[in-house]
Amino acid sequence: MKFSSLMAITLLIVPTLAADQAWGQASDQSSPNATRGTGDLGLVIERASGSLLVIETSERTALGRIEGLGDLSHASAVFSRDGRYGFIFGRDGGLSKVDLLARRLVRRVVQSGNSIGGAISQDGRLVAVSNYKPGGVKVFDAVNLDLVANIPAQASDGSGLSKVVGLADAPGQRFIFSLYDAGEIWVADFSDRANFKLHKYPNIGELPYDGLITGDGHYYIAGLFGEDGMAMLDLWRPDLGVRRILDGYGRGEEKLPVYKMPHLEGWARAGDVIFLPAVGRHEVLVVEPGSWREVGRIPVHGQPIFAVARPDGRQVWVNFAHPLNDTVQVIDVPSLKIIHEFKPGKAVLHLEFTPRGEQVWISVRDADRVDVYDTESFQRLTSLPAKKPSGIFLTARANRIGL
């Protein structure tokens, strides 16, 4: 009897040891069985093929591809708190959970007709998706993607459902988002998962097109497409309501055509100021936090899409909308001057810094590649082939509010 028990234990242990040995032997290879952590991993959205490229930044290589994710023409990603799983929000309403280590699709649900991004809760247990059609937010269990809550974005004036934009996570198990058609900001409090609460702030301004939350979770800011200005909610003092900031920043100037909306997720806090892309301007606005007044503006190459700070705050890198989207400019924060400009190729869509800022990864869609640059020398370190790449998302985002 004792012998049988020992045999049973041995049979359980031996495959585990064998697997560990196999993983160790492949630790420097691209095999999904290689033993490794997730801290230097990331995903590149391959928008034309509905696939993801799994990358690692230590050796600057591509590890493999995950396919079958549907329409990724305007896709974004968030990560589980351990960095192993990514949640991909597709334009076709698809919510996909992928395993970066096994490099496989875990589950995919088509939860709407048209979606525009999402967020993961503070504790990593809930994933929320913002939808255009039908307008609203759906919240899912992060483990199995079962539906937890459906929040239709019914305008307060009864005018109908609104598209939802600018969805972000906030401390206290909250999600915050803007209603594009209705001109409202809503906060969904899931601290009691079974009985979530909604707090609504109407009349914030015309056509909020995107939103950002500061890295400390203090302020949520919605950009307004229908007027010059932005709407800000102080999440530490929500009783104060929504405040207008940067009102009339384009007053007296001729509006330029807007070929692509700026992404406020790409705002930058660097040094003692905040850098924001201006709508319909070839300018980056420089804003003083706290007072939220404009303290400067920087003329740039074109209409900025992303203005992204290097993690040490010394530089801000900017890319641009069509037809000037072949260029990247680098702003030196202390001087507020452009110190470098280069042209990686047509359709530079996204920039992502490694956590300590020594590299920046840049997607060049029309060249079917991702470039990696040294941020001190501005030298290109390597290029990786990718199928019409757009967004680049590193697992370091798992530990940051609003990303």
CATH number (domain holding residue 317): 2.40.10.480
Going by C-beta distance under 8 Å and a sequence separation of 6 or more, which residues neighbour residue 302? 282, 320, 321, 324, 325, 327
Q: State the DSSP code for 48.
A: T
> Mean per-residue pLDDT for 154-181?
95
The confidence score (pLDDT) of residue 363 equals 98
Going by C-beta distance under 8 Å and a sequence separation of 6 or more, which residues neighbour residue 91? 71, 72, 73, 74, 75, 114, 115, 116
Do the beta carbons of residue 334 and residue 271 sit within 8 Å?
Answer: yes
| Dist CA 214 CA 237 (whole Å) | 15
Q: How do residues 41-75 score in pLDDT, each as one tens digit?
A: 999 999 999 999 999 999 999 999 999 999 999 89
Whether 274 maps to a domain, the answer reads yes
Q: Which residues of 35-45 are buried (b: 16+ CB within 10 A; e: fewer)?
A: ebebbbbbbbb
Do the beta carbons of residue 348 and residue 360 sit within 8 Å?
Answer: no
Whether 250 maps to a domain, the answer reads no
The confidence score (pLDDT) of residue 182 equals 96
The confidence score (pLDDT) of residue 261 equals 54
| Dist CA 202 CA 179 (whole Å) | 9
Chain-wide mean pLDDT for the chain?
A: 88
Whether 177 maps to a domain, the answer reads no
- Residue 289 — pLDDT band, cuts 50, 70, 90? confident
The maximal CA–CA distance of the chain, rounded, in angstroms, is 91
Do the beta carbons of residue 128 and residue 88 sit within 8 Å?
Answer: no
CA angle, residues 158, 164, 168, in degrees to nearest 5: 130
Q: How many residues does the chain have?
A: 403
Q: How do residues 343-368 score in pLDDT, each as one tens digit?
A: 999 999 999 999 999 999 999 999 99
Q: Write out the DSSP string of 14-28.
A: HHHHHHHHHHHHTTT
Q: How far, in whole angstroms, is CA 256 from its chain's centroid?
A: 26
Q: How far, in whole angstroms, is CA 187 from its chain's centroid?
A: 19
Query: Which residue from 113, 110, 128 is spatially nearest to 68, judged by alpha carbons?
Result: 110
> Mean per-residue pLDDT for 119-133?
97
Whether 266 maps to a domain, the answer reads yes
Whether 353 maps to a domain, the answer reads no
Whether 320 maps to a domain, the answer reads yes
Whether 303 maps to a domain, the answer reads yes
Phi-psi label, residue 117: left if phi above 0, alpha if psi -120 to 50, beta otherwise? left
Query: Which residue from 338, 316, 318 is spatially nearest to 327, judged by alpha carbons?
Result: 318
Q: How do residues 137-164 score in pLDDT, each as one tens digit?
A: 999 999 999 999 999 999 999 889 999 9
Domain tally, the chain: 1
The confidence score (pLDDT) of residue 162 equals 97
Whether 315 maps to a domain, the answer reads yes
Query: Residue 314 is part of which domain span?
Result: 261-343
